[in-house]
């Protein structure tokens, strides 16, 4: 099995090469390429390897431009420091990703995925997938990561990742953190949901928005509804209606 690494950082390339050899001695890394230009030239003049490991950011530009200049005929594993949610766009067919710094478990997962697909015919539209990735990345960056919220006679920062849930209480909108601290918000629930990353937060019902990280477990409720149990206490049960149970399951399993 032959592999090619496209990576402009020599240390990162060497580490990845060593990890590959440690995990599977049958994989031969035939070359390490450092630029878009060199990669296009090599792919146009050599037989394509069984698998490509490609860093998204190269010294002379984005590696995505490689696919505009040559037809890639083998599975690709992208390596990058991009946010995991954006990279979910690549988890289809023979494409996969590794978040830097790369560890053995993640690399093994990618190799196993390749081996499971080996021998099957998979037509991958890389240009469409790359377009999806860019859209996902842009959307992630558009959501608020911090809010300025009132506290006594001043405004204090509140990080979105620290919010366990947001709820309405007697027409007041409150955000509760994982440490149990309560902040009053100027936005209504609809406005908050539009500003929070929907991969991280779910609108459970008219009263509650919950964080993915706050969910401890789920109870079956009457009428095919479910009740969300959080890692911190809530004033009332958070019930998800029968019509939204499927949406919740898809969101939570993303």
Domain boundaries, the chain: 2-141, 146-252
Q: Which residue has the tokens 């490991």?
A: 53
pLDDT tens per residue across span 218-249: 999 988 899 999 999 998 999 999 888 988 98
Same CATH topology for 2-141 and 146-252: the answer is no
Residue 6 neighbours by CB under 8 Å, 6+ apart: 32, 33, 34, 39, 52, 53, 54, 55, 58, 63, 66
* Domain 2-141 annotated CATH 3.40.50.2300: yes
Both tokens assigned to 223: 């009428």
Strands 215-220 and 226-230: antiparallel
Strand ranges for 34-145 from DSSP E? 51-55, 57-58, 61-62, 76-80, 96-99
Residue 135 neighbours by CB under 8 Å, 6+ apart: 89
pLDDT tens per residue across span 85-135: 445 545 433 467 787 788 899 899 889 888 876 655 555 565 666 666 656
Both tokens assigned to 237: 């049960």
Say if CB 130 and CB 67 are below 8 A apart.
yes
Is the pTM higher than 0.85? The answer reads: no
pLDDT band at 165 (very low <50, low <70, confident <90, very high): very high
The pLDDT of residue 31 is 97
Residue 153 predicted with pLDDT over 90: no
146-252: which CATH topology? Answer: OB fold (Dihydrolipoamide Acetyltransferase, E2P) (2.40.50)
The pLDDT of residue 180 is 94
């Amino acid at each position: 099995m032959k592999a090619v690494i496209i990576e402009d950082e020599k240390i990162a390339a060497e580490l990845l090469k060593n990890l590959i050899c440690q995990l599977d001695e049958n994989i031969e890394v035939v070359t390490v390429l450092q630029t878009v230009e060199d990669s296009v030239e090599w792919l146009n003049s050599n037989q394509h390897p069984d698998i490509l490991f490609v860093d998204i950011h190269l010294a002379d530009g984005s590696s995505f431009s490689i696919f505009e200049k040559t037809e890639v005929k083998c599975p690709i594993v992208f390596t990058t420091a991009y946010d995991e949610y954006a990279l979910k766009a690549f988890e289809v067919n023979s494409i996969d990703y590794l978040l830097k710094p790369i560890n053995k478990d993640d690399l093994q997962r990618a190799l196993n995925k390749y081996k499971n697909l080996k021998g099957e015919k998979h037509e991958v539209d890389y240009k469409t997938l790359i377009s999806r990735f860019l859209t996902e990345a842009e959307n992630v960056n558009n959501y608020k990561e911090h809010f300025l919220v009132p506290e006594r006679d001043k405004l204090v920062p509140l990080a979105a990742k620290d919010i366990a849930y947001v709820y309405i209480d007697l027409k007041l909108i409150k955000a509760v953190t994982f440490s149990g601290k309560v902040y009053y918000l100027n936005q209504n629930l609809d406005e908050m949901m539009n500003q929070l990353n929907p991969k991280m937060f779910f609108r459970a019902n008219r009263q509650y928005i919950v964080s993915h990280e706050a969910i401890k477990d789920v109870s079956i409720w009457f009428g095919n509804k479910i009740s969300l149990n959080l890692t911190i206490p809530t004033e009332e049960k958070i019930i998800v209606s029968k019509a939204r149970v499927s949406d919740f399951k898809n969101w939570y399993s993303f």
